């Protein structure tokens, strides 16, 4: 079982990717491919549920998609032309297998499977009410709350029960559900997490990112819109708008780091946005230097943009290993920065004596930045000027992203000059918040009605944070202290 | 993972054993020992849940107790002085891990774990109602019905909710439940399945059989009585009688085969009863022969009784292997009765030329009897007179015993003379039903008010069989056809 | 992987069983069955090598035959009509897989596989010479010495090389070898370890015990004689006598404990010999008592013999569990004799108040005897008279049997009366050495030319013990201190 | 177990990397790190052997270094200050564990462990002679031949025996050996495979590439020279020259593809050489285009060089997945080029409508090139001009590199124009052989005395190929047809 995160520990982590197929032979095999293409969105566990017209079939496993879902044996046990899949990096709920999605329940309407990207910010409160009325939870996942709300809804039809459940939710959710009556997919009213729609012959495909459409050969049709609910069944696709209207605020960090550079997110090429970020960064924070070096691979597109804008050559000054592994035993005191060297190594012959512009996508706790700097100094770098392709990350995310508690965020503790001293670089600059919006094609941030959720940079959360408020008044929550046994 | 049944395939199989500890250090380790001593009651899976005063801990696994619960690592993860354990051979519910008991749920009253020996004969009907009202089942086990009935009960206290649930059940159940308020244990009003109470210093021990008390060094106090509910908490043990009064009818087959010979079941030594069965059989069906040979090990006590009564020497004419394993590939046509030889081998030097009284405990489908006979003939037996230590098994059991469907029971298909021809023995005789009751110390069966459940011999079922009646009118049960996904 | 010994720890342990087939379809499947029937001779590892006329195929594994050799997958990878198999409890050589037999080497004559029961008592000396001349050993097994002697022999034909090798060996060996030129099987000049020959249609079968012939349906032809070498190839079976003549001295302990009761060893039924041992014991050491109780299962035949001779009833006063497992965590101080209870439990209802004759096959260190006694006392036994079905075990075995070092043998430390006090029985008696020979049909032991190897009782070893002598002069053996890496 | 090659199937594959430590605490942990940094040289298996002054310890496993050698448990079982390690992609010898290096034998001089990068081109002939004289081989690896030559050498000292063995070898070998007398390391007289020497405090480090020195914090001292034998023991490092003098011919493909870009190979920075290759390619084969796109990651440095030389922008037109996995089940006919998409995806928003210079390091069979081309066409590329950073690969390698048989090499089958048609690119050009030497700082290839082994491009093999000659006259080799069991 391989679950190691290939990206650095010192990153915000998107915690989920979802994928769905309606109406294709080999739906499970297709979903496995789609999930593999979304693996960067969640490496701890994966699951696929299929429906063959009569029966639901499910396989869930800890670890990567490859290794768990690439055997004929596993795929053969997942028959049907309808499938939903999920990759997961846990935010709420512990890592046990019972929390691996899609979650499934047998309702009076028949089977119901759900794959969820996002986080329900009032899940704890809803759960407490449901338990009080006799519901028994199988998992510690916030997603299960949705199923119990559907199960106990007093509406008559499954669709009405589902809408009834959604209306009680607060937070971020892109959902794909399988039911005997068809596939239900929706995006929360603010559209915080992405969800796209594609077509492959007669089949509909849903995915967190367009790269998953590419891998199965599907055509990208459009994004599911914030607040949109689509019902796909044998009569085709029907779009509903069950919520009152909001100004959408999709997550801006998808463009900075979460999404793959070859994806199209809400209409923009991620690679082009990141290059424009690098260009904007070169305009905002120019410097005289010999080479532009990315922290690979997340800093690479912005570094190319910076190099093109500034005319300073782009070079691979840090080589990234293709092999994961960070738990090696340290043989003695003599090895500095062991962890970073397992993943990144200075290209010493290039670095020695050079003035370097070092590009990274963001700084979270700063633990890796300080080690990479030391590695470059050890390799003989004359100067290092660090340029960060986003504003300072100062606030936690409660919408399905793994962030350290606020106190651990470097930018929540110190200003830029103190960060520069801490990391020991010759100069340090972040992209401005308006610069980030410009790279996305806006004129700047509309502070009155922001175009994106940028709470990690601004602290401006677009929804209530009910559970979070209760945690800050923790006296009522004793029941949560009891941990559910396996 | 070892799950092979060491007894023969052609046996009725008890499907569960339960064990509980209240108030002892090392409760989990003690429960592991107790379950090991009850392993003959269920070899497919085992589980232990403990409560440490704050939190419930659980480990469940497919396979034997040894191998799953004998490591320090596993036991260390099960802290607390209160524990319940379960061994299982599946009757209802498929073999997936989620059906392995103790089942657990987080109720509004806190954690609730249940270990169940028996079978609820109206579980399907109750489940359908619960789903209709919004309950979501985690397993396909009949036992989960009990938890949902408790969860959704409108009574106020946990004890009242539990009694409310029990009153809706029909069938056989010996239950051990862990709650934050103490341990609850009960036996159904007819006392179909056994449950005994022991004491070890200050701790109370509950178990399906006294042999599990022996292994942990506990003193046997008494059987839990049919219809009795005991509550054990820090204030001690309290006995309740929540049901109206019935004449008890404990399972008679526990004495014939299920229980270990060194157990005391409802006041009788199983070994002594089996020896008296053999003596009674010698009285009812005497024969002139050279040696008395048991089919080991289940026929051995009755064979000793037969030999002592008849004066014919007891000899080990069939040697049983200590090593399980029945799935060996057959190398060619030349090997007759491969399966039986892996387990039993004729002691050829002894058998050759002898007139044999062959003692077995029961005949279910007759598949093994016919092979053992052939093996004895091949070894040179002059005559074989088969004597069966119970009446003909003619009816299925619906109270927690794995029986073939009725049509596969040999005694449901033919009379004794045709069975004799089928098995190819020189003579064949079964114990009479009155003879069986005599071996148990009765004057005979009281047909007006039978002292035991003997439905497998007589077809006289002591409860309604609600689900069974519906299966025989199957039109309403379409929902059950859908198999729950993992 | 299951390797736990189901017999008691306090036993001498035969360390190997061998099985061979020449000329049968499904030779590997047949060998798997044969090894399963010989499992009591070695539970730590098993292996099968086959030859398909061109290529050798081999599968070796730690653990039982069942579980490792009962899958179609494994058997399908072992094609050919010729096979040799081995079960092993390690005496020399550590437990690594490379020591699991059959060992195989590619010689100039082609492949050469060997399965060995016994122990070469000058293996260390031979090995040292071979290494000096450039041989590289793959294993730490004494058996590999044989292969290197064949490989480096200067004789021309394979048969002459094999005989050249055998003549340099000292100790006990029953060997089955596969070569491209046919199967070679032999028994050392004293015939210390057994080897029998059977026939199944056109095929020849070789096995350590006749019970392995039974399981595959083969006819027992005869024992391979001490000092006999048989060559089996497409021209049939040829018997050679390469050694000068010795008086055979087969191991007497095969009759006491090692062999299965349903085997014929060197012409005698093991079950009948053990019953006669019990009768002889009743004659030599009578006692007034209520019941005769065996320590099951090894004491059972002798107990039946004792009961028949004495007229005291045979009863199952100790019940043996069918489930292995001895490593359970002890929950606290209160449990006496945990290990013994996992395997044996007193049949309390029977034992209480009785005067008991307790029959066991032998006493090695006495550790189990003392616990069983305590268990019987706890169950209320009035008197316990222990009768042992062999003479006191006072010397170690160097011929392929796992014995404790001499100082740990109870009978090497104390006389019978002190043993009685130590075990805390009311009386204790062993069979006399002459009584043992009588049970085998002799008039008594011929001290001038003993009919058996009985060194464990008498210290009269039938061969030199070259390596043992060197260990007692350990200065020359520094190289052995270095442990071979994997 | 993860063994999937993260690079493309259509590459030549270096089959081994070696690493050694003499004189450091934590030698095994250090070796694990070094091997992890050399993982690109062999992904199928890894092994480490240590020597603690008395005893050798070894752990070998199939799969990656991470996962097998990153646990405290494993490292703790490898004590000592001296260690040798090996990563392996099999060329000769099958994939069984017994072929995983370091190989070990107990010689008369004590333990002897060897880790080998390269291939002995007369190993089969040497093996046959050794078997004839009685040597028994444990593996099918050519490396074992070296050990038997040492074992059977008639010289007196271990060093003389080792030199005696080396002198009989033909082919490529960089060796690290552990003996009780110290570490022996050498490089064959032509220095075909690399080996470098480093220093970390008092310890000496040996490794296939300098990147492995970087990861443990060691200083790079120098390359071991072709034909040099170093002996490292407590008295320090001693350099010997046991061979007559040859003109060195180190492998040129290390610079093209095998070595990591951050390594220094025989004095040159691999990254800088690859950039110069790209520049040379732009000079030799210019083209008018919009963007330069590498096939990542092996084509990236050359693409940067090409872009800098030509002034055409460098862009990430193909995105590489960080997640391995190529065995996914194909869901249906609709998915073109499934395998390539799992690893590479076109950056569609960038590619669409563009004229592209596509840079790859080499073409082996052409199977991947054709798929990548199709992928770029599907993404809307207007023109694709392929430029290959090496000459056409026309000959197999017999010196430790996995190459297809010659007939499968695309450049052995067709000329450049036909290759262009086959791959369906608008233009195709390879680097010239002189251009490659120029990028290495030479004036061009010295055809009279070539500075490198470039046989894969030129067919000019620097040694005899004895075994290969025999395979082309295969009548004498029947014995090899027999496959060794296990």
Q: Which residues of A touch B147 (CB under 8 A)?
A: 136
Kindly state the average pLDDT of the residues A116-121: 95
Distance from CA of D230 to the nearest CA of A (A): 25
Kindly state the average pLDDT of the residues D94-109: 85
What percent of the residues of chain B are helix, what percent strand, and what percent coil, each to the nearest 5? 30, 25, 45
Comparing alpha-carbon positions, the chain B residue that sits nearest to C340 is B215
Kindly state the average pLDDT of the residues B416-439: 98
As a whole number of angstroms, the distance between CA B284 and CA D298 comes to 89
- What is the pLDDT, as a whole number, of residue D473? 63
- What is the pLDDT, as a whole number, of residue D50? 98
Q: Which residues of B touch A59 (CB under 8 A)?
A: 486
A and C in touch (3+ CB pairs within 8 angstroms): no
- What is the pLDDT, as a whole number, of residue D95? 54
Decide if B215 and C341 are in contact by the 8 Å CB cutoff: yes
- A355-360 and A291-294 strand pairing: parallel
- What is the pLDDT, as a whole number, of residue C333? 67
- What is the pLDDT, as a whole number, of residue D323? 86
Q: Which residues of D touch A349 (CB under 8 A)?
A: 262, 264, 269, 271-272
Kindly state the average pLDDT of the residues A202-219: 96
For residue A479, pLDDT over 60 is answered with: no
**CB within 8 Å of C134: residues ≥ 6 apart:** D108, D134, D135, D148, D151, D152, D153
Kindly state the average pLDDT of the residues B234-248: 93
- A361 marked as part of a ligand binding site: yes
Among candidate residues B32, B42, B76, the one with its CA nearest the CA of residue B62? B42
Distance from CA of D398 to the nearest CA of A (A): 27
3-state secondary structure of C230: strand
For residue D8, pLDDT over 70 is answered with: no
- D177 marked as part of a ligand binding site: no
Computed over every residue of chain A, the mean pLDDT equals 91
- What is the pLDDT, as a whole number, of residue A93? 53
Residue of B8, B13, B16, B356 marked catalytic: B16
For the residues of B162-219, what is the DSSP string, one character each?
HHHHHHT--EEEEEEEEETTEEEEEE-TT--S--EEEEETTEEEEESSHHHHHHHTPE
Q: For residue B74, give both structure tokens.
A: 């596993």
Among candidate residues A71, A77, A72, A68, the one with its CA nearest the CA of residue A43? A68
Q: Which residue has the tokens 């009935």?
A: B149
Interior angle at CA C261, CA C256 and CA C267, nearest 5? 80
- pLDDT tens per residue, range A6-37: 345 678 887 899 999 999 999 999 999 999 99
Q: Tally C-beta pairs within 8 A across B and C.
A: 212
Cα-Cα-Cα-Cα dihedral sign, residues C291, C295, C297, C303: negative
Count Cβ neighbours within 10 Å for each residue of D13-50 and write b for 16 or more, e otherwise: bbbbbbbbbbbbbbbbbbbbbbbbbbbbbbbbbbbbbb
Decide if B134 and A152 are in contact by the 8 Å CB cutoff: yes
Q: Which residues of A touch B107 (CB under 8 A)?
A: 131, 136
As a whole number of angstroms, the distance between CA A219 and CA A200 comes to 6
For residue D90, pLDDT over 90 is answered with: no
- pLDDT tens per residue, range B207-224: 999 999 999 999 999 999
* Cα-to-chain-centroid distance, residue B193: 8
Cα-Cα-Cα-Cα dihedral sign, residues B111, B115, B120, B124: positive
Residue of C8, C10, C16, C445 marked catalytic: C16
Domains and CATH numbers, chain C: 13-248 (3.60.20.10), 268-321+338-445 (3.40.50.2020)
CA dihedral D45, D51, D54, D59 (to 10 degrees): -20
- A214 marked as part of a ligand binding site: no
- pLDDT tens per residue, range B47-101: 999 999 999 999 999 999 999 999 899 999 999 999 999 999 865 555 577 789 9
Interface of C with D (CB under 8 A): 49, 54-60, 104-108, 110-111, 113, 131-138, 147-148, 151-153, 479, 481-486
Backbone angles phi, psi at D379, to 5 degrees: -85, 0
As a whole number of angstroms, the distance between CA B469 and CA B464 comes to 9
Decide if B39 and C300 are in contact by the 8 Å CB cutoff: no
Q: Which residues of D touch C482 (CB under 8 A)?
A: 54-56, 106, 110-111
Q: For residue B9, give both structure tokens.
A: 């395939």
For residue B9, pLDDT over 90 is answered with: no
As a whole number of angstroms, the distance between CA D242 and CA D231 comes to 12
Distances in whole angstroms, Cα of residue A188 to Cα of each of A168, A245, A469, A477, B238: 12, 11, 21, 27, 53
Among candidate residues B112, B121, B106, B110, the one with its CA nearest the CA of residue B184? B112
- What is the pLDDT, as a whole number, of residue A98? 78
- What is the pLDDT, as a whole number, of residue C475? 46
Percent of chain A exceeding pLDDT 90 equals 82
- C266 marked as part of a ligand binding site: no
Q: Which residues of C touch D134 (CB under 8 A)?
A: 108, 134-135, 148, 151-153
Among candidate residues C111, C176, C50, the one with its CA nearest the CA of residue D484? C111
Cβ contact B450:B460 at 8 Å = yes
Cβ of A436: how many Cβ atoms within 10 Å? Answer: 28
Decide if D321 and A200 are in contact by the 8 Å CB cutoff: no
Where would I find the H helices in B379-483?
410-413, 416-423, 433-439, 455-458, 466-471, 478-481
- Chains in touch with D (3+ beta-carbon pairs under 8 Å) read A, C
Q: Which helix (H) or strand (E) holds A355?
A: strand A355-360
Comparing alpha-carbon positions, the chain D residue that sits nearest to C60 is D486
As a whole number of angstroms, the distance between CA B77 and CA B83 comes to 13
Confidence of residue D332 (pLDDT cuts 50, 70, 90): confident
- pLDDT tens per residue, range D24-52: 999 999 999 999 999 999 989 999 999 99
Distance from CA of A235 to the nearest CA of B (A): 24
Cβ of C239: how many Cβ atoms within 10 Å? Answer: 11
- pLDDT tens per residue, range A127-152: 999 999 999 998 889 999 999 999 99
As a whole number of angstroms, the distance between CA C393 and CA C411 comes to 6
Among candidate residues A281, A460, A256, A457, the one with its CA nearest the CA of residue A361? A256
Q: For residue A152, give both structure tokens.
A: 């106990």
B108: number of CA atoms within 13 Å, CB side? 20
Per-residue pLDDT of chain C (486 residues; tens, 9 = 90+): 343 343 446 788 878 999 999 999 999 999 999 999 999 999 899 999 999 999 999 999 999 999 999 989 999 999 999 999 999 986 555 556 778 999 999 999 999 999 999 999 999 999 999 999 999 998 889 999 999 999 999 999 999 999 999 999 999 999 999 999 999 999 999 999 999 999 999 999 999 999 999 999 999 999 999 999 999 999 999 999 999 888 999 999 999 999 999 999 999 999 999 999 999 999 999 999 999 999 999 999 999 999 999 999 999 999 999 887 667 888 876 677 777 888 899 999 999 999 999 999 999 999 999 999 999 999 999 999 999 999 999 999 999 998 888 989 999 999 999 999 999 999 999 999 999 999 999 999 999 999 999 999 999 999 999 998 887 764 443 333 333 333
Considering only the C-alpha atoms of chain C, give the largest distance between any 2 of them, rounded to a whole number of Å.
Answer: 73
Q: What does the radius of gyration of chain D's CA atoms come to, in whole angstroms? A: 23
Comparing alpha-carbon positions, the chain A residue that sits nearest to D66 is A325
Counting Cβ atoms within 10 Å, is residue A234 exposed (0-12), middle (13-18) or buried (19+)? Answer: exposed
- pLDDT tens per residue, range D152-193: 999 999 999 999 999 999 999 999 999 999 999 999 999 999
Q: Tally C-beta pairs within 8 A across A and B.
A: 99
Q: What does the radius of gyration of chain A's CA atoms come to, in whole angstroms? A: 23
**CB within 8 Å of C463: residues ≥ 6 apart:** C121, C170, C171, C172, C190, C399
Between B57, B131, B148, which is nearest A136 by CB?
B148
- D361 marked as part of a ligand binding site: yes
Identify the DSSP state of C254: I
Decide if B482 and A152 are in contact by the 8 Å CB cutoff: no
Q: For residue B423, give both structure tokens.
A: 């098995």
Among candidate residues B442, B444, B415, B445, the one with its CA nearest the CA of residue B430? B415
Cβ of A420: how many Cβ atoms within 10 Å? Answer: 17
Comparing alpha-carbon positions, the chain C residue that sits nearest to B203 is C334
Percent of chain B exceeding pLDDT 90 equals 82
Confidence of residue A478 (pLDDT cuts 50, 70, 90): very low
As a whole number of angstroms, the distance between CA B324 and CA C6 comes to 11
**CB within 8 Å of B282: residues ≥ 6 apart:** B305, B306, B309, B310, B387
């Amino acid at each position: 079982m391989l679950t190691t995160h290939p990206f650095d520990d010192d990153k915000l982590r998107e915690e989920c990717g979802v994928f769905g197929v309606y109406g294709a032979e080999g739906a499970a095999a297709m979903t496995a491919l789609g999930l593999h293409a979304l693996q960067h969105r969640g490496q701890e566990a994966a699951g696929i549920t299929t429906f063959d017209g009569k029966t639901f079939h499910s396989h869930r496993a800890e670890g990567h998609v490859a290794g768990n879902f690439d055997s004929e044996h596993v795929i053969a046990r997942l028959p049907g032309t309808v499938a939903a899949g999920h990759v997961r990096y846990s935010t709420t709920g512990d890592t046990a297998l019972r929390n691996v999605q899609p979650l499934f329940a047998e309702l009076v309407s028949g089977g119901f499977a759900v794959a969820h990207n996002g986080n329900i910010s009032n899940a704890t409160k809803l759960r407490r009410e449901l338990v009080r009325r006799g519901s028994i939870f199988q998992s510690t996942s916030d997603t299960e709350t949705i199923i119990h709300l559907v199960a106990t809804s007093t509406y008559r039809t499954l669709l009405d029960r589902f809408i009834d459940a959604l209306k009680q939710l607060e937070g971020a959710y892109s959902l794909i559900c399988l039911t005997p009556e068809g596939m239900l997919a929706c995006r929360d009213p603010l559209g915080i997490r992405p969800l796209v729609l594609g077509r492959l012959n007669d089949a509909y495909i849903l995915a967190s990112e367009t790269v998953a459409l590419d891998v199965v050969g599907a055509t990208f049709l459009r994004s599911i819109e914030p607040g949109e609910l689509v019902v796909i069944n044998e009569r085709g696709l029907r779009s509903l708008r069950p919520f009152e209207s909001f100004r959408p605020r999709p997550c801006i960090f998808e463009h900075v780091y979460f999404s793959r550079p070859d994806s199209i997110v809400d209409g923009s090429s991620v690679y082009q946005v990141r290059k424009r970020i690098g260009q904007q960064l070169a305009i905002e924070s120019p410097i005289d230097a010999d080479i532009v070096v990315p922290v690979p691979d997340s800093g690479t597109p912005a570094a190319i943009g910076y190099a093109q804008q500034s005319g300073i050559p782009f070079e691979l000054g840090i080589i990234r290993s293709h092999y994961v592994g960070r738990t090696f035993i340290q043989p003695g005191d003599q090895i500095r920065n062991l962890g970073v060297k397992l993943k990144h190594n200075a290209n010493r012959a290039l670095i020695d004596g050079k003035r370097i512009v070092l590009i990274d996508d963001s700084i979270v706790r700063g633990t890796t930045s300080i080690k990479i700097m030391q590695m470059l100094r050890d390799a003989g770098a004359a100067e290092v000027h660090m340029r960060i392709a986003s504003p300072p990350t100062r606030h936690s995310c409660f919408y399905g992203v793994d962030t350290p508690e606020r106190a651990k965020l470097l930018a929540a503790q110190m200003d830029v000059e103190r960060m520069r001293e801490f990391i020991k670089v010759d100069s340090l600059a972040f992209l401005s918040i308006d610069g980030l919006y410009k790279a996305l094609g806006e004129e700047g941030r509309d502070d009155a009605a922001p175009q994106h959720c940028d709470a990690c940079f601004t602290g401006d959360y677009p929804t209530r944070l009910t559970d979070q408020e209760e945690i800050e008044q923790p006296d009522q929550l004793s029941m949560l202290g009891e941990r559910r046994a396996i």
